[in-house]
């Protein structure tokens, strides 16, 4: 059986009398492992290894396997391909509530909440109130720190006190205790009415082709933004569910779960849809899982892990926005949900639909090689035109602006941020009462501080990343580890009084905008404004209701929005990311700019796109503005040939990290030469070795990072080598040194 330990091996247990044999593979069993109760997954019967006393299985937990054959198969593939321990992989496929040996948490809908009803603003009052009740003060302070309200149980654990403390506080009128319905699923009441389906000829043709697909067939549904891919999905789902009595899985990027996409599915299929998103509590997740398992819901919609929905008779697996990098999991098992979806679909005899306006090169290649059928949706559904795109060369713009600048006038902060044409266009929308989207993809690379005298830039003491300037509250913040520090008055290096802000972030742009257009209603959407559970939805709802004139945001505004009154999309700086030390930089930029460009002109009023760049000739920008995927792919494939990168070779990134810089470097070098010797000893001619070197971001959260790359045109060889390294490469047990193998990495940063 498989047990959730980071071990590349399985364990054998004895089936005692009283437990029926055989136990079906995929069944959860309770066993003692390392002298503590653990949930294991039965893999099948084996010949017992000799010389070992087998421990008995203590109980069979499932009456039907929690992991049916197709899921078990998918799990084994993931563990194998991504060089991950099987036990950890299988655990990650089940809701946590099912993999813990502790008593299962009931899916409670209400929870006991405590909230402050008596304010104690002065310190004196507080001292008096809690003179003899120390525990109460602890609870009160905790509660206050959490915004005045918190679940009783979590407070009790944090304060490490008994429930009596709360009763006493309630009696004194300090707090109020009541059962409250837990944060409701905001999608629950969105089950609405079916929009009248009116597919175009191209859409109907795509649906026909998909429904005629052989089991395991992969389709690439390539449709420009607004061409109506979702309607194709819905029609396919309808046929799969109603005509064939099968079930379906729809994967969407996490971000899309807060948007209109989910509403469409809920609207069309109502209670047949289980929405799995990251905001679910363990109990709610278990609820959703069980409703799928029992067949009460037949469509699972969710991010990455929804692929593991316990559905039987799956007829179709849809991967929307298949190019999204969030489909790659960044922890063990480091699987790509798109690839795993293909494996599961094959095991289920289902067809796969990979949808995107800007397909990944991998998928495009797959279609070129005949391993996927390409379906194209050429037209915008409503017959609207793709918006015209204007490119503003910011180099020219700046030169011009400097030349025209009145030396006596106060410094114009819009200079270098907004081109004239973008300002004029924004002005127009405001006058006409239309909406604008502004994309500033600046997170992680946004406004930093620099000393004008010596050029020193404050960097995070834990990560090798320049700190980002935040205005409210005024702090320097690290976007990798959340480290914060006050804004320095003088330079830490040379003590000069010349620290200046450089570059720009969303906050600064927001301020510049509001000064320029004081009457405009501006909303900002980035990780800082969307920390709450449903903050995305709330901001987007405001835009939908027309309460926002200009929505300013990072890439999260580029995805899945569909507002008819948005008639202008501006990309403030398209170059961001184009120069990252990552072989996918151009692909990402192309996708981002293309996607955001498609946000304009979704309604009858049409729209404009304005893109500001200092690199108007890069192929990413050039092809994005003409919505030309084919052209971009052709040039980008050329660039990936030499030196070879995916899709021409399979790659694995071996990352070594640790707390000590020298030890990390030494370990990486040692690991690399260990692999090098392996390659030589085995005479592996088709295995190319790059590095080792410090990672482009060479420190994150106190850990130094080195890496080296392996390339091979033989996937099977890569599987073998990756696994051998993950399992055997020696790593000293010091300075928290760790080695991880990331196969098919989505980013090399």
Partner DNA sequence: CTAGGATGAAAG
Partner DNA sequence: TTTCATCCTAGC
The contact set with DNA (CB under 7 A) reads 5-7, 11-14, 31-36, 49, 52-55, 733-734, 738
- Residue 1 and residue 13 in contact, taking contact as beta carbons nearer than 8 Å: yes
* Least distance from DNA to the Cβ atom of residue 625, Å: 46
CA-nearest of 98, 109, 140 to 123 is 140
Check the annotation: does 491 bind a ligand: yes
Pick between residue 32 and residue 498 the one whose CB is nearest to DNA. 32
Pick between residue 33 and residue 364 the one whose CB is nearest to DNA. 33
Give the dihedral sign, CA 391/394/396/401: positive
Q: d(Cα 616, Cα 612) in Å, to the nearest integer?
A: 9
Output the CA–CA distances (angstroms, integers) from residue 353 to 205, 224, 306, 462, 669, in the order listed. Answer: 14, 15, 15, 42, 43
- The two tokens of residue 212 are 């005629």
Q: d(Cα 607, Cα 597) in Å, to the nearest integer?
A: 10
Give residue for tokens 């395991």. Answer: 216
* Least distance from DNA to the Cβ atom of residue 13, Å: 4
CA-nearest of 91, 87, 67 to 9 is 87
Check the annotation: does 695 bind a ligand: no
* Least distance from DNA to the Cβ atom of residue 10, Å: 7
Pick between residue 34 and residue 716 the one whose CB is nearest to DNA. 34
* Least distance from DNA to the Cβ atom of residue 138, Å: 28
Pick between residue 322 and residue 742 the one whose CB is nearest to DNA. 742
Enumerate the H helices of 179-335 as residue ranges: 201-211, 229-238, 260-269, 282-293
Pick between residue 55 and residue 521 the one whose CB is nearest to DNA. 55
Q: d(Cα 480, Cα 463) in Å, to the nearest integer?
A: 7
- The two tokens of residue 267 are 């609207």
Pick between residue 399 and residue 738 the one whose CB is nearest to DNA. 738
Q: How many CB atoms lie within 10 A of CB 724?
A: 15
What's the 3-state SS for 558-575?
Answer: CCCCCCCCEEEEEECCCC
Q: How many CB atoms lie within 10 A of CB 216?
A: 15
Check the annotation: does 494 bind a ligand: yes
- Residue 149 and residue 222 in contact, taking contact as beta carbons nearer than 8 Å: no
- Residue 620 and residue 578 in contact, taking contact as beta carbons nearer than 8 Å: yes
* Least distance from DNA to the Cβ atom of residue 87, Å: 10
Pick between residue 197 and residue 732 the one whose CB is nearest to DNA. 732
Pick between residue 57 and residue 306 the one whose CB is nearest to DNA. 57
Give residue for tokens 């503003």. Answer: 392
* Least distance from DNA to the Cβ atom of residue 15, Å: 11
Q: How many CB atoms lie within 10 A of CB 557?
A: 28
Output the CA–CA distances (angstroms, integers) from residue 38 to 2, 289, 301, 467, in the order listed. Answer: 11, 21, 30, 43
* Least distance from DNA to the Cβ atom of residue 734, Å: 6
* Least distance from DNA to the Cβ atom of residue 12, Å: 4
Check the annotation: does 42 bind a ligand: no
Q: Which residues contact 109 (CB under 8 A, 6 or more apart)?
A: 181, 182
Angle between helices 69-81 and 337-348 (to 10 degrees): 140
Pick between residue 30 and residue 487 the one whose CB is nearest to DNA. 30
Pick between residue 11 and residue 645 the one whose CB is nearest to DNA. 11
| Percent of the chain as helix, strand, coil, to the nearest 5 | 35, 20, 45
* Least distance from DNA to the Cβ atom of residue 102, Å: 14
Q: d(Cα 384, Cα 363) in Å, to the nearest integer?
A: 28
* Least distance from DNA to the Cβ atom of residue 68, Å: 25
Check the annotation: does 161 bind a ligand: no
Output the CA–CA distances (angstroms, integers) from residue 610 to 419, 423, 427, 436, in the order listed. Answer: 10, 10, 14, 11
Strands 566-571 and 608-613: parallel
Pick between residue 141 and residue 727 the one whose CB is nearest to DNA. 727
Q: How many CB atoms lie within 10 A of CB 317?
A: 29
Output the CA–CA distances (angstroms, integers) from residue 23 to 50, 52, 65, 90, 532, in the order listed. Answer: 22, 21, 9, 17, 44
Pick between residue 49 and residue 486 the one whose CB is nearest to DNA. 49
Phi and psi at residue 561, to the nearest 5°: -85, 150
Binding site feature residues for Zn(2+): 451, 454, 460, 463, 478, 481, 491, 494
Binding site feature residues: 451, 454, 460, 463, 478, 481, 491, 494
């Amino acid at each position: 059986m498989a047990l959730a330990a980071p071990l590349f091996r399985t364990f054998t247990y004895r089936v005692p009398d009283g437990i029926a044999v055989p136990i079906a593979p995929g069944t959860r069993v309770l066993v003692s492992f390392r002298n503590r109760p653990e949930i294991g997954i039965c893999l099948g019967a084996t010949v017992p290894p000799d010389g070992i006393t087998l421990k008995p299985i203590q109980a069979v937990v499932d009456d039907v396997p929690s992991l049916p054959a197709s899921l078990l198969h998918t799990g084994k593939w993931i563990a194998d391909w991504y060089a991950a321990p099987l036990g950890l992989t299988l655990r990650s496929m089940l809701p946590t509530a099912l993999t813990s040996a502790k008593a299962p948490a009931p899916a409670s809908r209400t929870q006991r909440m405590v909230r402050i009803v008596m304010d104690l603003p002065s310190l004196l009052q507080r001292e008096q109130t809690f003179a003899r009740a120390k525990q109460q003060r602890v609870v009160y302070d905790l509660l206050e720190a959490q915004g005045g309200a918190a679940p009783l149980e979590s407070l009790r654990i944090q304060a490490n006190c008994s429930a009596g403390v709360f009763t006493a506080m309630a009696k004194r009128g300090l707090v109020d205790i009541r059962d409250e319905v837990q944060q409701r699923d905001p999608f629950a009441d969105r089950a609405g009415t079916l929009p009248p389906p009116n597919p175009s000829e191209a859409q109907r043709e795509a649906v026909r082709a998909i429904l005629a697909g052989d089991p395991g067939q992969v389709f690439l549904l390539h449709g420009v933004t607004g061409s109506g891919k979702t309607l194709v999905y819905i029609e396919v789902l309808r046929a799969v569910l109603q005509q064939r009595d099968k079930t379906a899985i729809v994967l969407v990027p996490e971000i899309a779960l807060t948007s209109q996409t989910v509403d469409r599915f809920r609207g069309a299929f109502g209670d047949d849809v289980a929405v799995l998103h990251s905001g679910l509590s363990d109990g709610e997740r278990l609820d959703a899982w069980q409703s799928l398992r029992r067949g009460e819901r037949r469509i699972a919609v969710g991010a990455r892990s929804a692929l593991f929905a316990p559905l039987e008779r799956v007829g179709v697996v849809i991967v929307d926005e298949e190019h999204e990098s969030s489909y790659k999991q960044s922890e063990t098992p480091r699987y790509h949900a798109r690839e795993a979806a293909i494996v599961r679909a094959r095991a289920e005899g289902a067809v796969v639909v990979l949808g995107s306006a800007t397909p990944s090169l991998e998928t495009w290649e797959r279609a070129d090689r005949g391993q996927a059928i390409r379906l194209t949706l050429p037209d915008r559904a409503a017959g609207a035109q793709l918006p015209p795109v204007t490119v503003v060369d910011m180099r020219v713009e700046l030169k011009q602006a400097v030349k025209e600048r009145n030396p006596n006038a106060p410094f114009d902060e819009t200079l270098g941020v907004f081109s004239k044409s973008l300002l004029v266009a924004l002005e127009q929308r405001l006058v006409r009462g239309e909406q604008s989207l502004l994309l500033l993809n600046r997170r992680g690379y946004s406004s930093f501080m620099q000393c004008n005298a010596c050029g020193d830039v404050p960097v995070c003491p834990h990560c090798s990343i320049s700190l980002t300037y935040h205005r409210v509250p005024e702090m320097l913040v690290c976007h990798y580890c959340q480290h914060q520090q006050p804004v320095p008055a003088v330079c830490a290096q040379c003590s000069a009084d010349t620290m200046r802000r450089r570059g720009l972030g969303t906050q600064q742009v927001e301020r510049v905008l509001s000064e320029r257009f004081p009457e405009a209603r501006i909303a900002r959407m980035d990780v800082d404004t969307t920390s709450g559970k449903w903050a995305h939805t709330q901001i987007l709802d405001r835009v939908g209701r027309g309460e926002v004139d200009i929505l300013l945001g990072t890439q999260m505004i580029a995805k899945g929005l569909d507002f008819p009154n948005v008639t202008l999309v501006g990309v403030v700086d398209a170059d961001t990311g184009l120069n990252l030390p990552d072989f996918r930089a151009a692909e990402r930029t192309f996708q981002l700019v293309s996607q955001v460009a498609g946000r304009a002109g979704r309604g009858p009023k049409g729209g404009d796109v304005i893109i500001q760049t200092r690199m108007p000739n890069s192929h990413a920008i050039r092809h994005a503005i003409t919505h030309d995927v084919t052209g971009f792919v052709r040039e980008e494939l050329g660039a990936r040939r030499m030196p070879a990168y995916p899709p021409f070779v399979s790659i694995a990134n071996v990352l070594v990290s640790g707390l000590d810089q020298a030890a990390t470097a030494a370990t990486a070098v040692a690991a690399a030469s260990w692999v090098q010797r392996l390659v030589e000893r085995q005479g592996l001619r088709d295995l190319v070795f790059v590095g080792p070197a410090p990672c482009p971001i060479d420190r994150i959260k106190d850990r130094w990072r080195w890496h080296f790359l392996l390339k091979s045109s033989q996937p099977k060889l890569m599987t073998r080598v990756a696994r051998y390294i993950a399992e055997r490469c020696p790593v000293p047990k010091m300075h928290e040194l760790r080695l991880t193998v990331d196969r098919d990495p989505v980013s090399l940063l």
